[in-house]
Chains A and B, each alone.
Chain A
Amino acid sequence: MAIDLKAIEQLATDQSSLKAAAGLAKPGKWSGVGMSRDGALVWGECSGSGANPYRVMADLRNLGNKCTCPSRKFPCKHVLGLLWLHAEAIVPFAPADTPEWVSDWLGRRRTSASAPKTASSDAPVEAKDVRAAQVAEPEVPEDPKAAARREAAAAKRSEDTERAILDALDALEQWVGDQLRLGLAAFIDDATARCRRIAARLVDGKAAVLAGRIDELPGRLLALPTGDRPRGAVVELGKLVLLARAFRAAPRDAEIRRAVATSESRETVLANPDTSRVNACWEVLAEQAQTRRDGLVSQTTWLLNLGEAGPRFATLLDYFPASAGRRGSVFTPGERFRGELAFYPSQQPLRALLVERDTAEEAAAPDWSTPAWPTTEAAVVDALNRPLIAEPWTLEVPVLLPAGRIALDDTGQAWWRAADGAAILPVAGDAEGLLRGTDLMQTAALWSGNRLAILAAQTRWGRIGCHG
């Protein structure tokens, strides 16, 4: 089915969308581009500002479309870019089986989606022109004085921010001391309201990441058995004190700043010479989406490096507003792909950005789609504690456990027990179904210091997932 630039021009909401789409209509921005065998559907993955590429899909029969990006423009620049790629045949759209994420979208589409929405008929129609969108704007040489002024302003802003954060951390420590003085029993009973208050103060103090963490603290606390909550509160509040002091000791440390204030942008991470890039085969262990109290949905993808080189685990972390509606999953748990990840600079690299994903190889290389996972570290306790000792404010660490099995106590609480008896760890939530009834040859899990959340396991029944 053919589509031309005129149709894309009509579909775009404004000239800036067209301009952005023209910038995206380049082969290097895209991976996994394909087309259904009947030529009606096109799809592709486009790298954006988030950790994951955006999944973009369109129905050429009626120009219905969907993108996993958080943009409120419909269609977004990624959809327009994909259509542009197709219209101009900039990359080949190979006929292929429709991916599951495209089928899922088709199943969810409302009837009204079949009628394409061009620019709203009520609003005055802004003139749009694909040719103008393609024109590269000339770079204006910057005045050296203006550059100096800009740099000075940035330095002043950074200083102000640091001062604000330090003040906010003082308030946090004061607040933590108050909770101890008033009693943790009362804190546990009133955790939501109390945490909300200090989180608001931290937001004012530009410590937004820390504020988000404290907002989620009551949820983590209430997930513990009642008798374990005082201990849990001590661990959580203790980590806050440690983090506050680490920030005071090294306010410019990117890793600590990431845990308190804000993360570097994708561009900054990619441009940083300390960023480690790892090209490997990855397995998607699990995807976790959580709606936070601040109205954002955090989407965490846990990846396992199937090769021996580089960090064993990686997390891709994206945020988008809950009000943007269901975003759809970027990955399917269990899927494997070869790709390059850029790890945020860190003592123990874990958080990463997906730079490139080679889906062509995914189909062509069945040798690494076999169920083998990398060798498991023998010393379980060491693997659990090492990251928590290095970065004591860390909330959870991924681990690859050796052979074990789920055991149950009298109350039905599940425990993971190593086959050699070297470790017995309490499992978070219910380990249900097959997980309880088979040997776990290897288990990938998150250890939070007191509970093990199982992500996936290798068994004689093959890989079994526990989240999503």
Chain B
Amino acid sequence: MAEAIYDAMGAVLTRWTMGAAAAPAASPWRAELGAEPAEAELRLLALTGQFLGVAVTADPPVGLRTLPDVPGLALPTVPEALRPLVRRILAATKATELLPFLAARGWTAHPADWMPAPNDEDIPDVYAPWRDWVAAAAAGSARRRVEDGLTAENWDDYWPAARKAALTELRRRDPGAARALLAVKLANEGADVRLRLVGLLAVGLSDADIPYLEDITATDRAPKVKALGESLLARLGRGPAAGAEAAELAGFFPVQVKGLLRRSRVIQFETLKTPAQRVRRTALFEVVDIAAFARALKISPEELIAAWTWDVDRQADAALVALVARTGTDALVTRAADAVSQCDAVGLQNLAALAPRLTAGQRSALAAKVLHASSCSFDMAKAIAGAMARLDDPLAAPAGAALLEALGHGDAGPADQVAELYGLGLVASRMGARRALERLNGAGLLQGDPRLDMLRLNAALDDNGARE
């Protein structure tokens, strides 16, 4: 009977779709439908609807596929009780700030709360398996699961994010082996991938990398990869011979000697008369390296940093800092960061450009220093220190006093100081966060205030991460 009904359904649906009476086509139900045509159509509709709604479900197509399991990560997901807080912070702010914080504390986000996009580059390497899972899900394919370390033989078995993470780890452990692997496999990758992988040589960069970097700058097809190779060579004192450009740039910054007894050199800033001159100066900063620039000024790079007069020409300051970040040695970057840390609040923003070249410990120390010695805000300290600041008493800094004063104003609104409170939450240690919460509550902020979410998460999250 059900078969006969099912067979009749095609004709019934077709007739109704077109607007024709269907009862004549539903022979299995002839008795139930009766003789009155309009009534028969309604009865048939009721029966058909019930039959289709209950007895008929869509046939699954052949070739259904299931995706592989979302892989577990090397770090545990945040405790269940803190997940709502993490979700709320992720909804309100950038994942690229919270996720490194969690990773530095030894935790990861729960995959039901956050999953990366395949091209999320600025997240901790611990999420590489998820990035590759998302890429595999989008591509509808899977690669062999690789248990051994990355080698030239199993290179293609890795998905890109896991490969980059493995290569980073190999470079930290054995820089020569990582370089040798790149030399064999890099040419087969696309320009974007080559750019990212060559960038890994910045970790543990040494003179041993010079021949390979020279090969890249001479043979690579992509201008961006070449430029990166040149900047890495420049950090090793092997910058391109940009003599003419360096000399032209030096022309904008004459060196003068001052003092009668202790004669010291000071860099002057030529007054720029036209916008074209400014554009030209900017362009020159982008093609020279710091060593060549210093040579053209007839001083060492260290002397150049010492002789620079900060906070006079903001554009020149930013250009010099970018030049050091791109082509300076690690020692010079440290020296430049130290010099910039003496700048005023606006100048301090240049520290964010140097921060990626510093170690986590240096960044943390620098953030603590500028917080206590200047009018640096917590938001800026966050940009300098990243996820590893762990300051024990950040509210004792001038930024803390400014924050408390701003919150204490009678006209302070419930949405004021959001960025500062969030920055404070990121740079504080767990103990620092607890202290800050106490003081802020004492200053009138409600315990349930959502602006304190980051501080609350910080205070509640166990610190499983290693302090550098």
Binding site for B on A (CB under 8 A): 36-38, 40-41, 59, 61, 97-100, 102-104, 106-107, 109-111, 113-114, 173, 176-177, 180-186, 228, 230-231, 234-239, 241-242, 245, 332, 385, 388-389, 392, 405-410, 415, 417, 424-426, 433-434, 436-439, 449-450, 461-462, 464-465
Contacts and interface: CB of A to CB of B under 8 A. Distances in A.
Nearest to B451: A107
A182 B41 CA distance: 13
A104 to B, nearest CB: 7
A329 B63 CA distance: 41
Given A100-B84, A433-B115, A437-B68, A236 B137 contact: no
B58 A241 contact: no
Interface in B37-55: 38, 41-43, 45-50, 52-55
A114 B53 contact: no
A185 B61 CA distance: 25
B19 A234 contact: no
7 contacts: A176-B42, A177-B42, A180-B21, A185-B17, A417-B60, A433-B111, A461-B110
B16 A180 contact: yes
Given A388-B53, A408-B65, A464-B112, A106 B450 contact: yes
A405 B66 contact: yes
A238 B50 CA distance: 7
Given A425-B57, A450-B53, 5 more contacts: A97-B448, A183-B16, A239-B53, A415-B64, A438-B69
A233 B453 CA distance: 48
A424 B64 CA distance: 10
Contacts of B22: 180
A111 B415 contact: yes
A100 B84 CA distance: 8
A292 B389 CA distance: 50
Contacts of A408: 64-67
B4 interface: no
Contacts of A424: 60, 64
Contacts of B110: 461-462
Nearest to B51: A238
A173 B42 contact: yes
B54 A389 contact: yes
Contact of A392 (B50, B84, B449, B451): B50
A61 B53 CA distance: 57
Nearest to B60: A424
B18 to A, nearest CB: 5
A409 B64 contact: yes
Nearest to B47: A238
Contact of A184 (B17, B112, B413): B17
A238 B49 contact: yes
Contacts of B80: 462
Contacts of B48: 234, 238
A239 B49 contact: yes
B13 interface: yes
A103 to B, nearest CB: 4
Given A228-B58, A436-B137, A98 B448 contact: yes
Contacts of B115: 433-434
B56 to A, nearest CB: 8
A176 B45 contact: yes
A59 B444 CA distance: 12
Contact of A41 (B52, B61, B64, B448): B448
Contacts of B137: 436-437
Contacts of A433: 111-112, 115
B90 to A, nearest CB: 13
B361 interface: no
A97 B447 contact: yes
A235 B17 contact: no
A434 B45 contact: no
- The residue among A102, A180, A439 with the most chain B CB atoms within 10 A of its own CB is A180
Nearest to A385: B54
Nearest to A230: B17
A59 B448 CA distance: 11
Contacts of A417: 60, 64, 66
Interface of B: 13, 16-19, 21-22, 38, 41-43, 45-50, 52-55, 57-58, 60-61, 63-70, 77, 80, 84, 88, 110-112, 115, 133, 137, 413-415, 441, 444, 446-451, 453
The 4 closest A-B pairs by CB, nearest first: A238-B49, A98-B448, A183-B19, A107-B450
Contacts of A461: 70, 77, 110-112
A38 B53 contact: no
A242 B13 contact: no
Given A111-B413, A184-B16, A238-B49, A41 B70 contact: no
Contacts of A41: 446-448
A405 B66 CA distance: 8
A237 B38 CA distance: 15
A334 to B, nearest CB: 9
A114 B413 contact: yes
Contacts of A426: 57-58, 60
A407 B18 contact: no
A388 B55 CA distance: 10
A385 B46 CA distance: 16
A466 to B, nearest CB: 9
B37 to A, nearest CB: 10
Contact of B446 (A98, A228, A234, A239): A98
A236 B52 CA distance: 10
A173 B13 CA distance: 19
A53 B157 CA distance: 56
Given A111-B414, A408-B65, A437-B70, A234 B13 contact: yes
A332 B446 contact: no
Contacts of B133: 437
B19 A237 contact: no
- The residue among A181, A426, A437 with the most chain B CB atoms within 10 A of its own CB is A437
Contacts of A462: 80, 110, 112
Contact of B414 (A106, A242, A405): A106
B413 A234 contact: no
Given A434-B112, A437-B133, A103 B52 contact: no
Nearest to B71: A437
B112 A465 contact: yes
B49 A235 contact: yes
B315 to A, nearest CB: 38
A424 to B, nearest CB: 4
A40 B70 CA distance: 44
Nearest to B13: A230
B446 A434 contact: no
A352 to B, nearest CB: 25
B328 to A, nearest CB: 42
A385 B415 CA distance: 51
A408 B141 CA distance: 12
Contacts of A407: 64-66
Contacts of B414: 106-107, 109-111, 113-114
A241 B52 contact: no
B448 A102 contact: yes
Contacts of B16: 180, 183-184, 230, 234
- The residue among A238, A241, A332 with the most chain B CB atoms within 10 A of its own CB is A238
A375 B305 CA distance: 71
Given A111-B413, A111-B415, A464-B112, A236 B450 contact: no
- The residue among A38, A61, A97, A434 with the most chain B CB atoms within 10 A of its own CB is A434
Contacts of A114: 413-414
Nearest to A407: B64
Contacts of A235: 49, 52-53
A3 to B, nearest CB: 16
A185 B111 contact: no
B69 A103 contact: no
Contact of B448 (A36, A177, A182, A241): A36
A237 B45 contact: yes
A239 to B, nearest CB: 6
A221 to B, nearest CB: 13
A450 B450 contact: no
